[in-house]
């Protein structure tokens, strides 16, 4: 039974789940959400009224939330790359770091981007300032946390790195990671060089013009 994957290559949470599909070469069928493919949007709305993506459909099971998709793939389509560690203590830390990247990198980054596409009279300057302050705080924390680690938790690539890759790609485009955070920059570069994420970034390259703040000419 073919996996159906609803998403868009430029969407950060789609990218997070795509990394997991690519890491273990799991075959799937793209259901690209775009104006040119309206039936995918209709199907998404029927599957998940909240209409956030990605969404995976696997043999009658509908899985929403990028983290849950990665957890689902680990259970139902295991491969050589174990994105959820077998050791439960390590798995707890992986899940904690996954939450940290979603809540304190991806969320404030998204706040800045979504504000930029609002009409000027509806913009939330205070909310954006708070989001940027949160990004500065988490950059400093991550820079310390990553000392001595190749990946987010120890030396194996996991769910937490799937969350980190798009979060740090777009966060740096939105509110630059300070040059002093050399450990965090080095980690971001390792993520960009990881073959699964390099492929995801290449898939999304044609859509860079859509980045509301203007995509920089790098990465």
Ligand X SMILES: N[C@@H](CCC(=O)N[C@@H](CS)C(=O)NCC(=O)O)C(=O)O
List interacting residues with ligand X (CB under 6 A): 11-13, 51-53, 65-67
Nearer to ligand X by Cβ, of 67 and 174: the residue is 67
How many CB atoms within 10 Å of residue 216?
Answer: 11
Task: Identify which of residues 106 and 177 has a Cβ nearer to ligand X in the complex.
Answer: 106
Which one, 66 or 181, has the nearer CB to ligand X? 66
Q: Tokens at residue 34, please? A: 């775009």
Nearer to ligand X by Cβ, of 66 and 152: the residue is 66
Q: Least separation, in Å, of the C-beta of 11 and ligand X?
A: 3
Query: Minimum CB separation from ligand X for residue 145, in Å?
Result: 21
Long-range Cβ contacts of 92-96 (<8 Å, 24+ apart): 93/153, 93/160, 94/152, 94/153, 94/158, 94/159, 94/160, 95/67, 95/159, 95/160
Contacts (Cβ under 8 Å, ≥6 apart) of 173: 211, 213, 215, 216, 219
Q: Cβ 53 to ligand X, closest distance in Å?
A: 4
Q: Closest distance between ligand X and the C-beta of residue 125, in Å? A: 21
């Amino acid at each position: 039974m073919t996996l159906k994957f609803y998403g868009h290559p430029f969407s950060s949470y789609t990218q997070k789940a795509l990394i997991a599909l690519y890491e273990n070469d799991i075959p799937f069928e793209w259901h690209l959400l775009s104006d040119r493919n309206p039936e995918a949007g209709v199907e998404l709305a029927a599957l998940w009224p909240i209409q956030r993506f990605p969404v995976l459909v696997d043999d009658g099971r509908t899985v929403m939330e990028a983290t849950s998709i990665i957890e689902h793939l680990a259970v139902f389509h295991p491969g050589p790359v174990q994105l959820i560690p077998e050791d439960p203590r390590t798995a707890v830390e992986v899940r904690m770091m996954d939450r940290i990247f979603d809540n304190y990198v991806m969320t404030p980054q998204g706040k800045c981007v979504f504000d930029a596409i609002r009409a000027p009279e509806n913009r939330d300057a205070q909310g954006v300032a708070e989001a940027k302050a949160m990004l500065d705080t988490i950059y400093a924390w991550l820079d310390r946390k990553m000392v001595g680690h190749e990946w987010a938790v120890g030396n194996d690539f996991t769910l937490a790195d799937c969350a980190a890759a798009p979060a740090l790609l777009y966060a740096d485009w939105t509110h630059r990671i300070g040059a002093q955070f050399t450990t965090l920059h080095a980690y971001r570069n390792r993520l960009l060089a990881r073959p699964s994420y390099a492929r995801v970034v290449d898939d999304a390259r044609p859509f860079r013009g859509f980045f509301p703040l203007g995509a920089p000419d790098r990465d």
